[in-house]
Amino acid sequence: METFGGPMESIARLGMVATCVIAIYVGARTLWIWRRTRMIQELCIGTNVLAIAAGGLVLTLLHALSGEHAGVPPMSWYALGLFGLVVHVAALYAGTWKIFRPQQRWPLFVVASATGLAAVWMGWALVVAGTTDGVTARSLLLLSLRGVGLAWAGYECFRYSAMLRRRVAVGLGDPLIAHRIWLWGVSAVAGLTAISMDIASWTVAGQPLAATPGGLHLTSSLGLISVGAIGLAFFPPALYLRTLERRWAADAATP
């Protein structure tokens, strides 16, 4: 694995920490809202965002604290980090189903299959903990599960947003809702782009994208774009909303 350092690496890693912090805030706030509404959609969204941030943060800290050749990591914390990623996969697929296709039954098979494969990945990782046995295959399995889930979510977001925009054009829709769902799609595409490049890195070089200076910066930048877009989608600041309203008002006044 290539080694590197310096201020540019620190900036990139700071960006990744910021990504986790924002994701934890968005996920925790969404789950706080779910306590009042008890809607399955909010439960899935909050769990999805919080689980990937918490699980990834735990695994990253274990790697940073133990080093590459320290043997078996603390199993309780390692299992907790892995479980967070399994929950993320399950909530990602279940949320897309319940939000965009709640009346259809076929997505249940997709959700169950993805969750089952994620559980297999976790068990595999626990069995070979502390070794590099099958690390490329394991990484590709998890990345593929996440990539397919994000591709599905992005497709549904852009499809639904386009439908709402057509309604807005004839005065039958809310432009803010259409825009927020579009932002959600942007978040999914940014995540999918990072995962696709990570898959390519594992396939060609046998290591994660973030193992190189350029890859680390790309991962950090795309992570910030992804979590920033979903933050704007679910909890847009007042200034951002006023800017959108002025733009929509100007568009409406234009013949």
pLDDT at 71: 60
Whose CA is closest to 21, among 175, 221, 228, 238?
Answer: 228
Instruction: Please state the domain extents for the chain.
Output: 7-253
DSSP-derived secondary structure for 192-248: HHHHHHHHHHHHHHSS-GGGSHHHHHHHHHHHHHHHHHHHHHHS--HHHHHHHHHHH
Q: Tell me, what amino acid is at 51? A: A
Q: For residue 237, how many C-alpha atoms fall within 13 Å in the half-sphere facing its CB?
A: 5
Rounded-to-integer distance, Cα 140 and Cα 195, Å: 10
pLDDT at 1: 42
Count other Cβ atoms within 10 Å, centred on residue 164.
20
CB 244 within 8 A of CB 253: no
**CA–CA distance from 186 to each of 13, 202, 229, 230, 235 (Å)?**
22, 24, 7, 8, 15
Q: 3-state class of 144 per DSSP?
A: helix
Rounded-to-integer distance, Cα 37 and Cα 151, Å: 28
CB 93 within 8 A of CB 115: yes
The residue with tokens 């310096």 is 6
Q: For residue 112, how many C-alpha atoms fall within 13 Å in the half-sphere facing its CB?
A: 5
Tens of pLDDT along the chain (255 residues) come to 444 556 777 788 788 888 888 899 999 999 999 999 999 999 999 999 999 998 988 887 887 776 555 566 788 899 999 999 999 999 999 999 999 999 999 999 999 999 999 999 999 999 998 788 899 999 999 999 999 999 999 999 999 999 999 998 887 778 999 999 999 999 999 999 999 999 999 999 999 998 888 898 999 999 999 999 999 999 999 999 999 989 888 776 665
Rounded-to-integer distance, Cα 87 and Cα 93, Å: 10
CATH 1.20.1070 fits 7-253, yes or no: yes
